[in-house]
Amino acid sequence: MARRTISVEIIDVQGVRVKVTRKTVKNMYLRVKPPDGRVEVTAPARASYDVVARFVASRRQWIDKAQEKVAAARARQEEAGRRAAGQDADHDHTGTADAAGTHADQPVAMLDQPWSEERKREAKAILNGWLPSLLAYWAPIIGRRPTNISLRRMSTRWGSCTPATGRIRLNLELAYLPPQYLEYVLVHELTHLWEHGHGVRFQRSMDRFMPQWRRLRRELNRIP
């Protein structure tokens, strides 16, 4: 039987960022999740910060080892992606909403890469390996879950969304970049399900959800 979620919050325990989900459960459970080794705890509804923090601190050695394993697996996956990708694309992740209410990045020039059916399948497999854990982490924090995520070759955009339908589209090229950029684009589009433009409210939401989003955007713009 699914347990009802009471609350979700992010806490810091000895420098470890922990997502705490309080549910109608009796025991606490700790997980280290790919692709980036994020730490998640499921705790009883009445568990205090101190109780959760002690629980996490007591398992710090196990967390460190688990994160090392996740990092090694990600490094192997990224290396495979670099071998398959060749050159990366240059882009600018800013955007507008069109008349149909679809948010999309402004068109920019991207390096043309050959896309065989095999490469498309590989990219989709990589992205589908990352997206479930990213969605499980971010959807409760942002408060919106997309109705559908489609993965496609996009010649000028990293992502787009249609707030009215909750549909998000992601560029297959993201499979061949470090996963923090996929995470940034996903959070960007999820936030657009709340805030359709790039005004002050959107920026404040992004600051709250992902304080480093501007740095990630700058890094994306510098990809050669």
- Give residue-wise pLDDT tens across range 13-46: 988 889 898 998 888 888 888 777 889 899 999 9
Q: Given this model, what pLDDT does residue 2 score?
A: 58
Asked if 190 contacts 138 with a C-beta cutoff of 8 angstroms, the reply is yes
Q: Given this model, what pLDDT does residue 87 score?
A: 38
Q: Given this model, what pLDDT does residue 69 score?
A: 81
Q: Given this model, what pLDDT does residue 83 score?
A: 57
The pTM of this model reads 0.55
3-class DSSP assignment, residue 53: helix
Asked if 145 contacts 139 with a C-beta cutoff of 8 angstroms, the reply is yes
Asked if 146 contacts 131 with a C-beta cutoff of 8 angstroms, the reply is no
What count of other Cβ atoms lies within 10 Å of the Cβ of residue 41?
21
For the chain, residues with pLDDT lower than 70 are 1-3, 76-114, 221-224
Helices (H), the chain: 49-58, 60-85, 117-142, 179-192, 200-209, 213-221
What count of other Cβ atoms lies within 10 Å of the Cβ of residue 48?
9
**Could you tell me the CA-to-CA distances from 111 to 23, 61, 186 in Å, in that order?**
47, 44, 22
- Which residues share a beta bridge with 11? 18
Q: According to the 3-state scheme, what is the secondary structure of 114-169?
A: CCCHHHHHHHHHHHHHHHHHHHHHHHHHHCCCCCEEEEECCCCCCEEEECCCCEEE
State in Å, rounded, how far the first CA of the chain is from the last one. Answer: 49
Q: Distance between CA 176 and CA 84 in Å, rounded?
A: 8
Q: What angle do CA 142, 77, 108 make, to 5 degrees?
A: 60
Residue 142 phi/psi, 5-degree rounding, is -80, -30
Asked if 177 contacts 223 with a C-beta cutoff of 8 angstroms, the reply is yes
Domains observed in the chain:
5-69 (no CATH), 87-221 (3.30.2010.10)
With a pLDDT cut of 90, the percent of the chain lying above it is: 32
